[in-house]
A and B are shown apart, each in its own frame.
Chain A
Amino acid sequence: MPSVSLKRVSPIALPGRPARTEECHGWPVVLSYAEEGGGPWVADLSHRPRWDLQGPDLDRQQPLGHTIPVRPGEVHLAGGLLINRLNASQAALWHLAGDFPEPPTDPALTEVTEATLCLALAGSRLFGITEKLTSLDLAAPGHTAPRLLQGPFGHVPCQLAVFPGPPGPPMLVFTCSRGYGHDMLHAVLAAGEEFGLRPAGQATFEKALTAHIH
């Protein structure tokens, strides 16, 4: 029987000239763009694996070998894996960097990679951009650790992981339904135009994420 190669496509295409690309598990991935600049930047992470986890006893579960944060809104960053506690019975897992893990067989996990858009925004003037897109207070003082918000971003219900920094630059990683992808990117680029927002590749994102891990 001939092997089947899957061709996967991101819901969006960033407007830039890719400098380095690769294909990863059927996804065309841009590692870097020709003129990324020094930020702020936006990166498409839609190809990274994501799962929803639902169950009655999340505190005792260890998806991909990691514990789940206890309180809703808490975020646990382990290597390239971001575990977001949504509520008493649900969590979201985003594998944002590193080698793709083996798909977990736990029936409590549902893969949602191809159902959602995932974008990262970062840079020193990040919150100037986000203020134009949401009434959520992403820059609320008193938060130093990453945290999760669920709310409207560009009038679209989103899950938003906020990395206030330092040590890394202020960063926002968020997901929404795939169908909103085109319009969401349009809104983000329009809001970021006055701040010099440029597209960035997976390598730039991983460098920023690494800064937050250490």
Chain B
Amino acid sequence: MAFTITCPVCGPRDGYEFRFGGEDKGPRPEAADLTPAAWCDYVHMADSRPGVQKEWWVHRQGCGAWFTIHRDTVANQEVSLNLLEAAE
């Protein structure tokens, strides 16, 4: 398998079982003082930087769980949190 993702329920599985859910953009912005432009940015704009980013995935062909992983977008590999912490 070229690309595996670790589901928190099912464990490591073939990447084709999952569907990408977008970058993790952090918590939803507070409604107070929220401008249409800021909301549009939050909903539609992604950083799309090369390197490791936090992403949402759903195990669509398996348990159906939504979860986040860290993925190196250049190598297209999941990066374990332990390795990330060791590198920092």
Q: 9 A–B contact pairs at CB < 8 A?
A: A72-B9, A87-B9, A87-B63, A149-B10, A150-B9, A150-B10, A150-B62, A150-B63, A155-B61
Task: Tell me whether A73 and B60 are in contact (CB under 8 A).
Answer: no
- Kindly name the residue among B1, B60, B61 whose own CB sees the greatest number of chain A CB atoms within 10 A: B61
Cα A151 to Cα B16 in complex, Å, equals 11
Task: Tell me whether B9 and A151 are in contact (CB under 8 A).
Answer: no
Cα A155 to Cα B62 in complex, Å, equals 11
| A49 interface residue per 8 A CB criterion | no
Q: Return B49 CB to nearest CB of chain A, in Å.
A: 31
Task: Tell me whether A87 and B62 are in contact (CB under 8 A).
Answer: no
Q: Return A52 CB to nearest CB of chain B, in Å.
A: 12
| B13 interface residue per 8 A CB criterion | yes
| A30 interface residue per 8 A CB criterion | no
Q: Return A73 CB to nearest CB of chain B, in Å.
A: 7
| A86 interface residue per 8 A CB criterion | yes
Cα A151 to Cα B4 in complex, Å, equals 14
| Residue-wise interface mask of A (136-156) relative to B, using a CB-CB cutoff of 8 A (1 in contact, 0 not) | 000000000000011110010
Cα A149 to Cα B65 in complex, Å, equals 14
Cα A158 to Cα B84 in complex, Å, equals 34
| A55 interface residue per 8 A CB criterion | no
Residues of B within 8 Å of A210, CB to CB, are none
Cα A86 to Cα B64 in complex, Å, equals 10
Given contacts A72-B63, A87-B63, A157-B62, contact A151 B10 (CB under 8 A): yes
Cα A86 to Cα B61 in complex, Å, equals 14
Q: Give the B interface residue count (CB, 8 A).
A: 13
Q: Return B61 CB to nearest CB of chain A, in Å.
A: 4
Cα A98 to Cα B62 in complex, Å, equals 30
Task: Tell me whether B61 and A151 are in contact (CB under 8 A).
Answer: yes
Cα A150 to Cα B64 in complex, Å, equals 9
Q: Return B68 CB to nearest CB of chain A, in Å.
A: 16
Residues of A within 8 Å of B62, CB to CB, are 150-152, 157
Find residues 20-75 in chain B having any chain A CB closer than 8 Å to their own CB. 59-63, 65
Instruction: Pick the 6 closest A-B CB pairs, nearest first.
Output: A152-B61, A150-B63, A150-B62, A151-B62, A72-B9, A157-B61
Task: Tell me whether B65 and A87 are in contact (CB under 8 A).
Answer: yes
Q: Return A13 CB to nearest CB of chain B, in Å.
A: 27
Residues of B within 8 Å of A150, CB to CB, are 9-10, 59, 62-63
Task: Tell me whether A151 and B65 are in contact (CB under 8 A).
Answer: no
Q: Return A88 CB to nearest CB of chain B, in Å.
A: 8
Cα A72 to Cα B13 in complex, Å, equals 15
From B9, B10, B14, B59, give the contact of A135 (CB < 8 A): B14
